Structure 1
């Protein structure tokens, strides 16, 4: 889909290289400017997040290498960097310098706190950003500390995906108006923006400030339960017709308390009763009981077990490449078939990229 678009990525950690990977998955020519030596002890020679990219090794404190990078930037549609505010400027590679050599450039900046504001210059990580944004608030049962899946809500959801959307919007704008832009993709902003679907429930009274009292936060029919052998099963039968199927399969359709699906006062008691019920049998027995129904019950699987599930296997969602499990590109397109590309070694394409940049 993105063939013909070139992105220059400055090596960083976490959401920035993930954004570059996603753009490469979609067909962009992503050239990552790696450091000449790995910055993290024990880092793999070939990172999964570099799949489909080309690599050039540069020292951004060396004037000659910076000149090479600037010539590369002059050929690009976009640039991605993931440093704290001010770092690229100190290297002479800030937006003003880059837009001077390429006025149509979309300059993508990936940070946790954003380019400005009281916290902009301070360190932080995924949970800090989503904790401040409000996105972590509902991520547990009442009385338990909030805990979201690592990286997914902040680094990837609120960070990398918003950076990619911003880059694509900027590139479309540059191609229609001939002018580049700077994309300020902050995890704290993106993760707050993702809350708007949940916040919309507040318009109908279905979202409470107190945890455990909202439509998607606390009901016995919207939880994960432990089974007898220590596995887990997810239950989220929100609509009454699905909830009725759920109760029927469990033999609880005639119970007057369970019939009161939206009675908040009963949710803790009914949650405890369901916890005891699900703890009495292993996960696979429960899956067998609900199989083929619309009761909205399913297993909670780890990635390696997920890869073996018939649905996931049929779609080829998880693939093992060179011994490393990885998820296939998403979304999918009817006109394109994706196959796992290789992950480059640091500086693998130096000669090729430098030759392309050689002046005639």
Structure 2
């Protein structure tokens, strides 16, 4: 089917191949230098990944053939070493460590972690690290549900001293901390931490051009019967789908790119399958101006039934603006071409007129959850229900 082919071309276009970036160096006794990723160091063997003929291959070298080697993350850590500062280190197995670097010897790091005490970390197991900035704000959620935000003054073995804007210096036992998140610059407003908008990639139904980040996703439920999920395959490509009980299933691929400081553009499709079977959907393009907190989107697309496209495009005009820590205003408006018949000179003539459907409502936000409470209206709906038809949905970001 031609429409299905177009949809899959959208998906294929957005998947870019990428290789593993070599960060480690091996020098053999024969004088050969290899850029690679060292994966394991044994007593007499060094295992690593290296790119050969455009493919990453696993191999090894015995120490008798090895002149020297260096692990990129260890060398970066050595260059920024400050035994008085705190570091966060993430290991390849997902373990997170926070504490001070005591020393670095060859490829091993002697680390004093707040929870595990003094441990030795093998350099090849380090995925990433970050040096703590004393000017960084942190948002801390306590086990009892209270929230505190401020700068870290001092880390102790069992306590954390925080300088807050409203309470001054606060000492928190580490055992009372449920979660601690680094706050991006500008997210503390009037003494409150404004978490990132958890639902910035769509309005009520239609999308913005802002894509999900790789590994991000969300589940959405509207009117209980409509269930969907979307997932970021890469920073530019999102794939999703869902069901509208009990009659339809659909898929929703989308690509999106940031082309200027406040401008994103994107394209995608909504492909639905109804009993029959009948395939219906929209191929669309969108452009968004603004940030994740305040934006406006213009969209246009052509609907289709089976392989037949509707002659005229439908248009969307949507926007959102965050007015407080937990509240945003949302509007989504559709201008849709509808066929009609006119009686002209004794004959019925098929014409097309545009019909406008508007919506307006509130978005209630938490860090990973949003609730939309809105009203949908048109020139016909307003005759029966002046305020409009209620709309509700729920989104959980994962």
Work out whether the TM-score is over 0.5: no
Greater RCO structure (CA 8 Å; 6+ sep) = 1
TM-score (norm 1): 0.23
TM-score (norm 2): 0.21
Greater fraction helix: 1
Greater fraction strand: 2
